[in-house]
Structure 1
Amino acid sequence: MTQRTISQSLFFYFISALGISMTIKAMIGVSSFNSLNTALADLTHLKIGTITSSINLIFLLICWFLDSNRNKTQYLLMLISLVCFGEVINAMLYLVFSQITVTSYPLQLFFFTLGTLIGGFGTGQVLRLNLLKFPIENFCVLVAERTRRSFSFYRYGIDFICVGLSLFFTYAFSLPLYVREGTLISLFLLSGAISWSQKLVFFPKSEKMMIDN
């Protein structure tokens, strides 16, 4: 673990937060996980980034207890980055993007698609650097290692639960509908963007960094 790797990981972590903020601002639906976050934000009157960080921190805590090979420094970095992750989303949505109005549907589609690609790019780079992990994905990996089910089974299961809860809150409390066409676009586009990004190397590791890692 080096300072350079930490800096790069944090940078791309926040790029991912920027992309998420753009998809929410487009207002044509959001990804499965974010559909729950936005519904809970409406229900509790808390900021979306705050809800996002809170749920991720719950998963991080669960991972801490499940991970027999836990690295304290790594988990501390993930905790700090998750708090900052939510604050970046809040800053973009409630400060920067609050001055922007996306009204036409083609522009909303473009804004959402661009946000999904940016978010997928940031996420892919974080995964490539393999320092800061995303708590939900890490949770699914840890559970899959202890059961006969695959990672995909648990990851899609969480998506299904998030969508179900979002729809429940929407109809039970008359909230806006966040499971829309954007949710489907994200389902097909996000994983491809992440896979593409993981193959891109912008900052090759020096020999010293490879030894340190």
Structure 2
Amino acid sequence: MNRKNITLSFLYYLISAFGISLTLKASIGVSSFNSLNATLAEFSHIKIGTITAALNFLFLISCLLLDPQRKLKNYLTMGIALLFFGSTINLFTYFIFPLFTLHSYLLKCLLFILGTIIAGIGTGRVLKYQVLKFPIETFCLFLSERTTRSFKFYRYSIDLLCIMAALLLTFAFHLTLMVREGTVISFLLLSPVIALAKE
């Protein structure tokens, strides 16, 4: 693997984490997967970056089990990247962003859009270099290769399950509602930004 591409992949991985942190700061809801992460974080009192990394590790282990090649070096690199990913989210969410407050709803919406664009660019560039992978997307790809269902079917199914689980926990334990307008904005905006950044 090209050292420059590895370095850039790690950098864009962290940029993606920074973008996610901005969407959390906006407090108008978050993307499908992050709605579950944020809800679990509030429920368990574990930091959201830690929850995000942990759930991604579960998908990473699933990928390892499904992968016929199983190159352990690649999975070790991914594991290290996930640790940095979760730590970056925690750093901004709990130590840097609490230093300022947003009162305007318009500013919150603009911040969420900015965060989604930054996260999308980071994700798209990582996918372009093909050094690091995102566990959920890789998991869905492996499933689509082994069944008659498409990648899109599995990816949207995971999004739907995350939203349903987040809503169930929210109403059962009276937690903060994370499935809001930000979830819709992310659904409409994130994929096109990733596609553009991947070019």
Query: Normalising to structure 1: TM-score of the pair?
Result: 0.93
Residue 145 (structure 2) aligns with: 145
What are the Cα deviations for residues 46-66 of structure 1, in whole angstroms up to 9, with x where unaligned? 000000000000000010010
CA distance in 2: counterparts of 1:116 and 1:98, whole angstroms: 19
Residue 177 (structure 2) aligns with: 177
Residue 66 (structure 1) aligns with: 66
Unaligned runs of 5+ in 2: none
CA distance in 2: counterparts of 1:117 and 1:100, whole angstroms: 21
Residue 157 (structure 1) aligns with: 157
Q: Letter of the aligned partner of 1:51 in structure 2?
A: I
Alignment of 1:47-126 (within 5 A): 47-126=47-126
Q: Percent identity?
A: 52
Residue 46 (structure 2) aligns with: 46
Residue 188 (structure 1) aligns with: 188
- Residue 5 of structure 1: how far off its partner (Å): 1.3
Equivalent residues, number: 199
Root-mean-square deviation (Å): 0.5
Q: Which has the larger radius of gyration?
A: 1
Residue 31 (structure 1) aligns with: 31
Residue 6 (structure 2) aligns with: 6
CA distance in 2: counterparts of 1:71 and 1:132, whole angstroms: 13
Q: Letter of the aligned partner of 1:156 in structure 2?
A: Y
Q: Letter of the aligned partner of 2:68 in structure 1?
A: S
- Residue 160 of structure 1: how far off its partner (Å): 0.2
